[in-house]
Amino acid sequence: MQREPIVAVATPYGEGAIGLIRLSGKGVLQIVRRFFKTKDDIKPRFSHYGELIDAEGNVLDEGLLVYFKAPHSYTGEDLVEVSLHGNPMILRDALRLFLSAGCRLAEPGEFTKRAFLNGKIDLTQAEAVAELITSKSELARRNALKQLRGELSRKVNRLRESLLELCAYLEADIEFSEEDIPTITKEQVISRVGEVLDSINRLLDTAKTGKFLREGIKLAIVGRPNVGKSSLFNALLRRERAIVTDIEGTTRDFLEESVSLKGVPVVLVDTAGIRETQDPVERIGVERSEEKVREADLILFVIDASEPLRKEDKEIYEKVREKEHLVVANKVDLGYKVSVEIFEGDSIIKVSALKKSGIQELEREILNRVGINLDGEVGAYISLRHEVNLKKSKEVLERFLERYRRQDISPEIAMLDIREATLYLEEIVGTVATEDILGSIFSRFCIGK
């Protein structure tokens, strides 16, 4: 469908070598040709050199024009891209020309929204466009690219098609109930729904990892005073950020820094040593440390490997053991005298923050603990929106399966449940989508994409 013409600057604001103006919709080529003068006949998918002329006939700039004829364009509509020099004043004046000729300024994400509405991409791929632009790590970029190429869509569509096929069998059971025609048995229905639930659960397992890739991992370094938390903080940052001394209680408040571990964004927090203290300033630091423990996605519980565990170590461990954590035995360069029976079931990572030994192994274990396997292929991880819809579909199917096993349910009732579960899957890929959903998704885009 050719909608009203829209225009936007598609490159970031500021000076640059090239500035790109994008137009899409009905009659955009005719609008651009009023101001862009070239000696060539404009052919689709060819670059054409020319001059941009204002309404008074003055030359604004020289540049290149590329025309994409519908439906063979990003939006599925007629689309024109004009490349000019990246001076903000040139781009501003060019934008005014096209607006005066009947174009409307594009809304955030409207080009991608039109691509979705015209069937060029589905909703998960549209979301991947935004994630590809804003991804903060190499792994997040690779994940977004896989989603853009349709990996997540294919997985969801396979589930949807399986449920639709089941609906077709149930409908046949209704239509031919009086005839001796085999359709589908109760055991086959249970098996098919069980397979779909297994696949949904596998997708849901990727939700937390997807969140970490997009938003980063909150990692708190916790322990009693003088076990080397600040030294470990500096070792992970690979620079001297925290003050390190032999005096207990040197860190009075938490320090927070962003770092990339193997390409994954991490918010690293060095907390004050947790202990009972009468010092009012240190006590505030301890309270803030305990708050950071509650907020963290993963806790590094640091102990001094060169001496036996103290009472304070055991008390802190009781506070963190129920949360996602790793035990880090620091100062192994001074010997290994700590007894580890209390940590039964926990893997202990041995490091020397001072000598920088064991740090790479620790980084790898941190990522493994949050579900990021650097050795394997990066898959497509789901977002919060996908997770919500998958959980709704799962709840419907589990409720249906429980009733279906206990009692005979008519095909008509069974179809209602299966169809409801299917609708939640269709919301993920956008087969059905409300304006509220589309508005929420595309409002996060930049103008011009």
Instruction: Quote the CA–CA distance of 348 and 301 in Å, as a whole number.
Output: 10
Under the banding of pLDDT at 50, 70 and 90, the label for residue 250 is: very low
In 3D, which of 212, 214, 219, 216 has the Cα closest to residue 236?
Answer: 219
**Would you say 6 and 102 are in contact if contact means Cβ atoms under 8 Å apart?**
no
Give the CATH number of domain 126-206+382-430; options: 3.30.565.10, 1.20.120.330, 3.30.70.20, 1.20.120.430.
Answer: 1.20.120.430
The Cα-based distances of 4 to 118, 340, 433 in angstroms read 14, 70, 22
Give the CA count within 13 Å in the CB-facing half-sphere of 69: 5
Instruction: Quote the CA–CA distance of 18 and 215 in Å, as a whole number.
Output: 31
**221 beta partners:** 270, 300
pLDDT score of 433 more than 90: no
What phi and psi values does residue 386 have, to the nearest 5 degrees?
Answer: -65, -40
Q: What is the pLDDT of residue 278?
A: 47
> Which one has a higher pLDDT value, 309 or 283?
309
CATH tag, 213-369: 3.40.50.300
pLDDT score of 46 more than 70: yes
pLDDT digits (tens, 9 = 90+) for 261-305: 777 888 888 776 555 554 554 555 566 666 767 778 888 899 898
pLDDT score of 143 more than 90: no
pLDDT digits (tens, 9 = 90+) for 329-359: 999 888 888 777 788 778 788 988 888 888 8
Under the banding of pLDDT at 50, 70 and 90, the label for residue 377 is: low
Q: What is the pLDDT of residue 182?
A: 54
Q: What is the pLDDT of residue 101?
A: 93
In 3D, which of 130, 29, 8 has the Cα closest to residue 78?
Answer: 29
pLDDT score of 241 more than 60: no
Q: What is the pLDDT of residue 446?
A: 80
- Average pLDDT estimate for 362-380: 75
Domain layout of the chain by residue ranges: 6-121, 126-206+382-430, 213-369
Q: Is 64 helix (H, G, I), strand (E, B) or coil?
A: strand
Q: What is the pLDDT of residue 258?
A: 79
Q: What is the chain's length? A: 449
Instruction: Quote the CA–CA distance of 264 and 214 in Å, as a whole number.
Output: 9
CA-CA-CA-CA torsion sign (54, 58, 64, 68) = positive
pLDDT digits (tens, 9 = 90+) for 191-224: 999 999 999 999 998 888 888 877 788 888 888 8
With a pLDDT cut of 90, the percent of the chain lying above it is 37
**Would you say 105 and 21 are in contact if contact means Cβ atoms under 8 Å apart?**
no
Q: What is the pLDDT of residue 267?
A: 81
- Average pLDDT estimate for 364-380: 74
**Token representation of residue 72:** 């063979």
Q: What is the pLDDT of residue 247?
A: 43
258-267 exposure pattern, b = at least 16 Cβ within 10 A, e = fewer: ebebebbbbb
Q: What is the pLDDT of residue 248?
A: 47
**23 beta partners:** 7, 80
pLDDT score of 242 more than 50: no
Termini Cα distance of the chain: 18
In 3D, which of 81, 97, 80 has the Cα closest to residue 89?
Answer: 97
Q: What is the pLDDT of residue 245?
A: 43
**What average pLDDT does the structure give for the chain?**
84
DSSP strand E in 194-245: where? 217-222
- Average pLDDT estimate for 62-87: 96
In 3D, which of 11, 96, 105, 93 has the Cα closest to residue 60?
Answer: 93
With a pLDDT cut of 70, the percent of the chain lying above it is 87
**Would you say 428 and 127 are in contact if contact means Cβ atoms under 8 Å apart?**
no
pLDDT score of 87 more than 50: yes
Instruction: Quote the CA–CA distance of 338 and 341 in Å, as a whole number.
Output: 9
- Average pLDDT estimate for 420-443: 83
Q: What is the pLDDT of residue 272?
A: 61
Q: Architecture of 6-121 per CATH?
A: 2-Layer Sandwich (3.30)
- Average pLDDT estimate for 78-100: 95
- Average pLDDT estimate for 215-235: 84
Q: What is the pLDDT of residue 227?
A: 85
pLDDT digits (tens, 9 = 90+) for 149-184: 989 999 999 999 999 988 888 777 666 555 555 567
